[in-house]
Amino acid sequence: MSHWIVTTLKATSVSHFMTGSMWAWPLCETLHFVGLALLIGVVGMLDLRLLGRLRHLSYAAVHSLIPWGILGFVINLVTGVLFFVGAPDQYLDNVAWWYKLAFLAIAGLNVLYFETTQARRALAIGPGDDTPRAFKVIGAISVLSWFMVLYWGRMLPFIGTAF
């Protein structure tokens, strides 16, 4: 693909660094996987609580781990952007990447909806409390969409041709 986005990004020094340095890509891959583990660990615990599991924990207790989930997300956002700037064509031409982005959007909107409209109700969930059905639905959407993000990300080199 020789879209202007591709030519513009590929002309940047960041792009040259990502593809030219022997270290840059492997290092970012490693960080991307560490970030993934942090994100799935924290989000997974939160989702389990929303689904009514880990019931002896209050929602607020699990919520206190969120900064680490955000750290994982930021690590992956930064390294992900670096991959994209490094080789934009291998992602734009790759159907797996678009699926990954779509599920990322679903996961993001789900979090946004939950945190903006349900946060206060959620923080009232104490140890031993069951969760309302709406929370279970949100928890299920969250866990499924994050695992789909992981799945399509892992499929990038196989369905498309990303390295």
Partner 1 sequence: MTDFFAALENLPFSIWLRESNSIWAYPTMLTLHTIGLALLVGASAALDLKVLGWGQAIALTDLRPMFRWMWIGFWVNALSGVVLLAADATTKAAAPMFLIKLGLIAVGVVIMAAQRRAVFAPAAAITRSARVLAAASLTVWFVAIAAGRLMAYPGLFFGL
Three-class DSSP category at 153? helix
- The nearest distance, CB 8 to partner 1, in angstroms, is 28
Least Cα distance to 122 among 40, 39, 42, 57 occurs for 57
CA 130 remoteness from chain centre:
27
- Distance, CA of 94 to CA of 25 (rounded, Å): 19
Nearer to partner 1, 19 or 58 (CB): 58
- The nearest distance, CB 105 to partner 1, in angstroms, is 20
On the CB side of 44, how many CA atoms lie within 13 Å of its CA? 9
List binders of partner 1 among 60-99 (CB under 8 A): 60-62, 64-65, 67-68
Given candidates 6, 9, 18, 40, which one binds partner 1 under the rule CB under 8 A?
40
| Contact letters for partner 1, residues 143-162 (x by CB under 8 A) | ----x--xx--xx--xx---
Count other C-beta atoms under 10 Å from residue 87's C-beta: 18
Report how many residues bind partner 1 under the rule CB under 8 A.
Answer: 35
| Contact letters for partner 1, residues 95-124 (x by CB under 8 A) | ------------------------------
Place of tokens 């492997």: 26
Nearer to partner 1, 33 or 113 (CB): 33
What is the chain's Cα-based Rg? 18
What lies within 8 Å, CB to CB, of 150 at 6+ separation is 36, 40
- Distance, CA of 114 to CA of 86 (rounded, Å): 34
Nearer to partner 1, 84 or 147 (CB): 147
Kindly list the residues in this chain that would bind partner 1 in the complex (CB under 8 A).
22-23, 26, 29-30, 33-34, 36-42, 44-45, 53-54, 56-58, 60-62, 64-65, 67-68, 147, 150-151, 154-155, 158-159
